[in-house]
Amino acid sequence: MAAAVIAPVTGEPRLVDPGRPHVGLEDQALTRGDGVFETMHVLDGRAYKFAAHHARLCTSAGIAGLPAPSAQTCRAALAMALDAAGPGSRDTALDLGAEHSVKLSISRGEPGGEPWAWLTVSPVPEQAFAARRDGVSVLLLDRGHDPAEDAELPWLLPGVKTLSYAVNMAAVRHARAHGAQDAVFTTSTDRRILEGATSSVVCARTRDDAAPTLLTPEPSRGILPGTSQARIFDTARRHGWGVDHGPLYPEDLLTADAVWLTSSVRLAVPVTAVDGHEIPTDPVLTRTLTDFLVGSPRG
């Protein structure tokens, strides 16, 4: 981590020493995963999809019964941290510029205390550059149930990006322990594709004589609405591409012309294999999707 800012619910954000401890042992983000977060991409000092991330943070916080810092406070904290963060890291393959990964989190705080927020800025890790460049093999993992069943049950925090991510992390570890590099969740009943452990799933159908069509699972059915997937689809639509939401099954990934895991920092990561079956990648389309993500810095 290169820089960190702490923002109390009331009061000004303040730069803190990223190398020092800042959290007490009873903080409920620590003891209960009780908080929400967003991860953003910063390129040459500019935050991408800031408005979409701040909106989703506010939605998450609202459902979880937490206050959220204003966009103004978040932008001030981000500027403060970026000033202190140093040069960022550079993807030698894509050469987009100096890149930072930014995490913005809200904790419920200590019992009886006040919620608080923090923002950290780190150089994008080499592992993310490697994933963009070389792609990842994925394992399809049963989510145990269809999260669409949770959608009307607010106490299950459907669609909330909480700090309670232990299962997402366990899924990635399981995939890595079984020869793959990332995990994609499916429903148990009909093996419908849901989402990556920390990403959205997008696939493409291409034809020589027409614009490509992009497909992704329905974001309303209990999965996290992906800000990168949404940005790619909005831009693709403006370019006259076909974009569609709908049920996707393992065979749709195996027969697609290309599949990606999309997320804010890793951008569009090509999927090279599904459950050990190699699938084609499309470097030109991958570059286009990446440009869709980093072509329009603000908003």
> In the complex with a copy of itself, which residue's Cβ is closer, 166 or 284?
166
Distance of alpha carbon 282 from alpha carbon 127, whole angstroms: 20
CB of 171 to a copy of itself, least distance (A): 4
CB of 89 to a copy of itself, least distance (A): 15
CB of 160 to a copy of itself, least distance (A): 8
> In the complex with a copy of itself, which residue's Cβ is closer, 164 or 281?
164
3-state secondary structure of 20: coil
CB of 150 to a copy of itself, least distance (A): 4
Question: In 3D, which of 22, 5, 24 has the Cα closest to residue 110?
Answer: 24
CB of 42 to a copy of itself, least distance (A): 17
Q: Are 267 and 40 in contact (CB under 8 A)?
A: no
> In the complex with a copy of itself, which residue's Cβ is closer, 21 or 240?
21
- Location of structure tokens 């899924």: 171
CB of 143 to a copy of itself, least distance (A): 8
Give the HSE-up count for residue 276: Cα atoms under 13 Å, Cβ half-sphere.
2
CB of 283 to a copy of itself, least distance (A): 29
CB of 222 to a copy of itself, least distance (A): 9
> In the complex with a copy of itself, which residue's Cβ is closer, 34 or 282?
34
Output the CA torsion 12→15→21→24 (10° steps). Answer: 0
Q: In this structure, what token pair is assigned to residue 61?
A: 């916080």
What count of residues does the chain have?
299
Give bridge partners of residue 5 from the DSSP assignment. Answer: 15, 119
Q: Which residues lie near a copy of itself (CB under 8 A)?
A: 1, 4, 18-35, 37, 64-65, 103, 105, 107-108, 118, 120, 122, 141-147, 149-150, 153-157, 160, 162-171, 173-174, 183, 188
Work out the widest C-alpha separation in the chain, in whole angstroms.
Answer: 63
Question: In 3D, which of 199, 200, 194 has the Cα closest to residue 250?
Answer: 194
> In the complex with a copy of itself, which residue's Cβ is closer, 171 or 258?
171
Give bridge partners of residue 105 from the DSSP assignment. Answer: 37, 118
Output the CA torsion 298→233→199→216 (10° steps). Answer: 170
Q: In this structure, what token pair is assigned to residue 177?
A: 């322990």
> In the complex with a copy of itself, which residue's Cβ is closer, 20 or 298?
20
> In the complex with a copy of itself, which residue's Cβ is closer, 177 or 284?
177
Q: In this structure, what token pair is assigned to residue 115?
A: 């919620």
> In the complex with a copy of itself, which residue's Cβ is closer, 59 or 281?
59
